[in-house]
Amino acid sequence: QVQLQESGPGLVKPSQTLALTCSVSGGSITQGSYGWSWLRQPPGKGLEWMGAIAYDGSTYYSPSLKSPISISRDTSKNQISLRLSSVTPEDTAVYYCASRTFSSDSDYFSGDYEYDFWGQGTQVTVSS
C-alpha cells in the first residue's frame, strides 16, 4: 500500500518561501503513468489543485496560482517537494500530496480529485 507523508514548517512569514516535502513509501515515484500532485484547502474553501510532477519528471502547474510555484523530486529519497514563493496570508491552508494515474498532459488540469493515495495533510499558516 502506497503511503504519503507531508512535512514542513507549520508557520511561514509573509513574503517568505513555503517549502514542503512529501515522502512516499510502498511505491516508487517513477512508476509509470502515476503523477504526484500538491493540493491545498484554505479555511472555509474548497480543495485546490496546485500542480504536479509526473513519473518521468514532467511538471504541471495551475495557471490560477498567484504565488510562484516549483515542484521537484528526489528519486533517491522517493520524495516530492513543493516550493511556494512570496507567500501571503491567502496561502494559509492545509496542504496535501496525492497520487493517481494520469492518461495525458491535459488530464493534470481536469479537476479530477479522485486520487488513489493521499497524505494526511499538513497545516501551514502564513502570518507575521
The answer, yes or no, to whether residue 40 has pLDDT greater than 90, is yes
pLDDT of res. 111? 87
**pLDDT bucket at 92, cuts 50 / 70 / 90:** very high
The answer, yes or no, to whether residue 69 has pLDDT greater than 90, is yes
Q: List Cα–Cα distances, 54 to 10, 46, 92, 100, 124, in angstroms.
A: 26, 24, 26, 10, 24
Whether 99 and 34 have beta carbons less than 8 Å apart is answered as: yes
